[in-house]
Chains A and B, each alone.
Chain A
Amino acid sequence: MHRLLAILAFYKPFVTWSFITNIIVAFISAQIIPGIITKLFLTVFAWYYVHETNQRRKLTFYKNLGISPLKLFSILFILDIIFTVIFLIIFREFT
């Protein structure tokens, strides 16, 4: 549970961007598959951004917990698509 909270702490700075992306995806095409593909690209971009900047330092904390960058970003992707799917389902109900 506490490890999940630690992973959520890493996810926190990306939440706003993820939500903005959800809104854009929903207005263009509120379909789940395009939403998931978009999030896959964004996760790869986030991984690249973290690796190429000082943000890379944050990964040491997770490595100390035995969480490799691949595992961390995979969990992030899964969490993000869960939120995306919920958001798109709710959006489709009201449009």
Chain B
Amino acid sequence: MLFELDNVELYFKNKRILNGIYLKAETGKVTGILGRNGCGKTSLLDIAFGNLKPKYKLIRIDSKPLLKPLYKTGFVKYLPQYDSAPKDFKLYRLFKVFELNWDTFSERFEEFLIYKNYKFGNLSGGQRRFIETYIILKTKNEIVFLDEPFNGISPLMIEGVKALITEEKIKKILVVTDHKYEDVINISDNLYLLNNGTTKLINKFSELEDYGYLSENQIPI
């Protein structure tokens, strides 16, 4: 499957936030989006998912234009920056809602074994983040948008998320954005930089310095 987001133009009041956007993502590859704070990464994912309506946008799936919001197709999942699951939902129930098996999860991530009957809101911020990321990645779908999946989670959990992403990318389109640029670069097959409201496909890491996103000593070797 091929997902394309094209011709996005977004304004907040009279301020132009995004223009001239082009993003291509395909099954079997992780597409990373980097950018400074406030450059519009979250807005871009919101637009792609259908949470935010811009002035213009064009979504194509396998080169065919899609006129309805992407979430209505039923084959896309979105991990937003914030906790989205109801706080008073017990974890095993949350897994059942998404038709996932709690035992499979807790056998793999044993530190969660005791939390089966805990309410989602009673977990720590990092645990909530990890569980939501797991659910979004593992649920039956074909396109996944992850907005800051590494935010607030411990290094071991970051490795867990990266392993899950690597597993799931075989059969899904994954689009990831996060400020932990090293982790994003590490897992991405294609990389875009969002700068001045437009996307730029990054072919060499030195371009990240050219566009003023990283300093010379931050560029990965």
Where the two chains meet, the residues of A that have a C-beta atom closer than 8 Å to any C-beta of B are 2-3, 5-6, 9-10, 12, 57-61, 63-66, 68
Contacts and interface: CB of A to CB of B under 8 A. Distances in A.
B97 A68 contact: no
Nearest to A59: B51
B97 A3 contact: yes
Given A2-B93, A6-B89, A68-B72, A60 B98 contact: no
Nearest to B97: A2
A60 B96 contact: no
B122 to A, nearest CB: 15
B88 interface: yes
Contacts of A9: 86, 88-89
Contact of A61 (B49, B50, B74, B86): B86
> Chain B interface secondary structure, helix, strand, loop or mixed?
loop
Nearest to A3: B97
B99 to A, nearest CB: 9
Interface of B: 49-51, 71-72, 74, 77-78, 80, 82, 84-86, 88-89, 93, 96-98, 136, 139
Which of A9, A58, A60, A61 is the most central at the interface, judged by chain B CB atoms within 10 Å of its CB? A60
Given A2-B96, A6-B89, A60 B84 contact: yes
Contacts of A61: 84-86
A64 B86 contact: no
Given A2-B97, A68-B71, A60 B89 contact: no
B80 A57 contact: yes
